[in-house]
Chain A
Amino acid sequence: MTVVEEPTQARTGTYLYGVVAAGRLAAGVFDGARSVDGEHAVRLVPAGDVAAIVSDVPLSEFDEDVLPARLNDLAWLEDAARAHEEVLERALGQTGVVPFRFCTIYRSEDDLLRFVVERADDLCRVLDGVEGRIELGVKGLVARDVLEGALRSHVGAEESGPAEGSGRAYLLRRREDRRLAEESMRFLADCATAATARLERAAVAASLIPVRPPERDAAETMFLNAAYLVAAGDESLAREAEALAAEYEPFGIRFELTGPWPPYNFVPRDVLQP
């Protein structure tokens, strides 16, 4: 028996960016939007009370056997990731969005619709919770040398010790360095605790993201990475972050606000799972 397969190039899957409530997006909201494959148009597929934001993708690029290699291609990844995000941001400008994860792909639009319809109740519940709301990110960054310098001057100048160059002097210096390192860890822990408490009060909900490792040769290290759900247009979280930045500036600490984001960190994982 011979099975004649269509050439891979011709086959497409359906890529799911996110879900919105039915009837909320203006016609043309995705006109000119770049899709994850850069070719197929982004479109809205109604499914009862909700609508799915989708585009077709060639399985020659997005199927299981080729996707891993693509994902390790940084240029490809960046284009596709930014396209995913920008499509969702267009929707976010008009209504609440349940963002789906990067590369959520169905083999056909029917399969995708079956999933969305099965999940409609959960999706509607989440949409109610995020309607009129956006995610903001706050990153806490520290220049450790500045912090240690500030703490050193608070603690007082080092006492005059044994002659420079002696083993004893070396050990004393090592101990002082270690003490400063521990001191700055404690300071950062306190700072992170205080900052998150204050930021949380200015938000509907909060979620902590794992802190990222230091970049090579970066002057700053991240010590806090958090996401907040806030009402669109509410400036109080931004103001609180600004106040924190001003207070902690002398210690080499900076707070960076990012967003608005689709509420990636505020969609329960089980809603996205098959």
Chain B
Amino acid sequence: VSSRELDSRGGGPAQLPDVLERILDKGIVVAGDIQINLLDIELLTVKLRLLIASADKAREMGIDWWEGDAFLSRRHEPHGLDERLRRLEEAAGLPTANGDSE
């Protein structure tokens, strides 16, 4: 992985997702006479096709920080996995994640 990559595009074309996330304004056309709610018609599916193909997979892995307004708004969803792991740990006689110290 090259390190100090700073892609200022200097005349080259911008990446399409960067353009779309700016000009679409959360998917709703807000002015003008032609009123369509892009979310209703799933314009997002277009974005999704570009970007989100693996969202479900990522969510399974607990990576969901793109959700919500703030960056890194990672929720600790009651996934079941953590709970199951904790029970297994107890059964195996290991200190649980909550109770242990280094």
Q: Do A and B come from one complex?
A: yes
Task: Give the interface size bracket for A toward B.
Answer: 35 or more
Task: Tell me the residues in window 45-72 of chain B with beta carbons closer than 8 Å to chain A beta carbons.
Answer: 45-46, 49-55, 57-58, 62-63, 65-66, 68-72
Residues of chain B with a CB closer than 8 A to A77's CB: 20, 46
A194 interface residue (CB < 8 Å to B): no
- The answer, yes or no, to whether A221 is at the interface (CB within 8 Å) is yes
B24–A167 contact, CB under 8 A?
A: no
Roughly how many angstroms separate A49 CA and B8 CA in the complex, as a whole number? 33
Contact with B along A180-212 (1 / 0, CB 8 A): 010001001100100000000000000011111
Question: Considering the complex, which residues of chain B in the window 21-52 have a beta carbon less than 8 Å from any beta carbon of chain A?
Answer: 21-25, 29-36, 38, 41-43, 45-46, 49-52
- Of the listed residues B16, B51, B72, B94, the one surrounded by the most CB atoms of chain A closer than 10 A to its CB is B72
B35 to chain A: closest CB distance in Å? 7
Q: Judge if B7 is at the interface, Cβ distance under 8 Å.
A: yes
Is A95's CB within 8 Å of the partner chain B? no
Interface membership of A100, Cβ < 8 A? yes
The interface size of chain B toward A, counting residues with CB under 8 Å, comes to 61
Report the Cα distance A111→B8, complex, angstroms. 38
| CB nearest neighbor in B for A269 | B30
Which A residues fall within an 8 A CB radius of B?
13, 16, 62-64, 67-68, 71-72, 74, 77-78, 81-82, 84-85, 99-107, 111-112, 115, 137, 143, 146, 167-168, 171-172, 174-175, 178-179, 181, 185, 188-189, 192, 208-219, 221-225, 238, 241-242, 245-246, 249, 252, 254-259, 261, 264-265, 269, 272-274
**A-B residue pairs, 3 tightest by C-beta:** A68-B41, A249-B3, A216-B53
19 more contacts with CB within 8 A, not counting A72-B41, A81-B23, A175-B85, are A13-B34, A16-B32, A62-B34, A68-B36, A71-B38, A78-B16, A85-B23, A104-B31, A104-B32, A112-B32, A137-B18, A167-B92, A178-B82, A189-B72, A208-B71, A212-B17, A215-B52, A216-B53, A258-B9
